[in-house]
Amino acid sequence: MQIQRLVDLDDFEFDTLLVTYNHKNRLSIELGKVSEIFEALQADDLVGGSKVYGLRGKDFSYQGQSYYNLIFIGIPEKATPRKYQLQFGTALKIAKGFKSKNLLMTAIGEDVSYWLSSALKGLILGDYAFDAYKSDKKEDRELRLGVLTGMDSSSFKKEEQYVRMITQAVYTARDLVNAPANVMTPEALAEKAKEVCDKNNIKFTALDQDACQELGMGAFLSVAKGADTAAQFIVMEYNGRATDDDKVALIGKGICFDAGGYNIKGTPHMKGMNGDMGGAAAVISAMGAIAEAKLGINVVGVIPACENLISGSAAKPGDIVQSMNGKYIEVGNTDAEGRMALADAITYAIRECGATSVIDVATLTGACVVALGDRYTGAFANSEDLAAKIIQASVLSGENVWRLPLGDGEYDDVNDSDVADITNCGNKAGAIAAARFLSAFVEKKPWVHLDIAGTSESSKDAQIYSKGGTGAATMLLYEAVKLMEKPYKSY
């Protein structure tokens, strides 16, 4: 999408006008014709509150220019950044349905800087489409957006640069998740991570299976045993504050296809398992944005990438493996593979990279989907300070997060094993059991676990989402890391 700052309309022709209105039904553009149309639509209950409604026309005009489409966007009182994203994303979907090419919106008022970036995010994210494997895709001219505003040029440029950076990161994550498993293999994922590193001056390392074996990554390698494709242990190191000993680890689950192993998934649950590397996609993309913004903080991205398949060498239920930190794990269920890979990744980040705090993100449990659906990411934490930053980042990014309990004192025995130190399949409270399993490997470091099993994929094309990968947690991770800068700076 092309974006152009406008101070007048002399050099911008448009076919679609975006008009916002507030909770008191006051329009952002007070024109007789627009106001009359709004009142008529209000009488039919098509607008009002926070409804978004589009209208085709033939004789609309604004400041002497004729246009054809009019879209009203309701903004509720005390609207959050997320609400702005969703409303403008909905407007973009309507505009595309109208086959609009040139959109005009106004950004005028004292609080423009609060909402403009969120509105632009909504428009750009709503414009995403994945058609890499459509042989008959049609030529589609890029949308143009004119923003009529009194904001000075430098401030507007700063907002636009930030929005483009972060939405491109989300686009990258969505592309990674949407790619089929025969294309996005562990080695291909490593290549994509390397491309991001090369572009942004991030140190890249990919450990092969032999190197992982030497490090004692028995948990991670137990997941990879059944696949013909080679596992890749991806490490991305960004040093934005060389004099600081603190380092944040972002750890993303990178299961490029999850058949469930010998605890094989049923047919309905097998579809979409190419997206079981949504956590890895978020980490790769967020790392690129962090480096591009030159944030003053040290961050390492760690991604255990492999496939969870079945063969004569695959792990079996009841196997016992030793993790990198020395704990013996009973494989109670081969479909609880993500936490196995993450356990060794957490240990590597702490012991080999010197991580002082850890955030992991994973499409981990169906139980979290049952609890929170597809619009809230579940968060578990052992640190109130780090949890608070995640919650604050969720507001800034527009990504919903709901904190869930670790259940200390209530679920201490949920992962008990009769034959090993711990089992990978708890006996109840599935999302909590998975989080408690991971907590056994964080070595008392401040830690947050983000379960994006529900939010990583959208079942329909609506608002800021397209059917398929959402890029969940990409913006969330970026904003969380930005909040951890010392001293914190606003960008």
Burial degree of 91 (CB within 10 A; 0-12, 13-18, 19+): buried
Tokens of 450: 């983000």
CA 85 to CA 399: how far, in whole Å? 10
CA 347 to CA 359: how far, in whole Å? 13
- Catalytic residues, which ones? 265, 339
CA 400 to chain centre: 11
Place of tokens 């094309």: 461
Tokens of 410: 């209530």
Nearest to 344 by CA among 238, 251, 467, 465: 251
Do strands 248-252 and 357-362 pair parallel, antiparallel, or not at all (unpaired)?
parallel
Which amino acid type is present at position 263? N
**Residue 23 CB neighbours (<10 A):** 14
Peptide bond into 487 cis (omega under 30): yes
Do strands 298-308 and 232-239 pair parallel, antiparallel, or not at all (unpaired)?
antiparallel
Place of tokens 């909040």: 483
Distances in Å between the Cα of 308 and the Cα atoms of 216, 258, 304, 341, 399 are 19, 5, 12, 11, 29
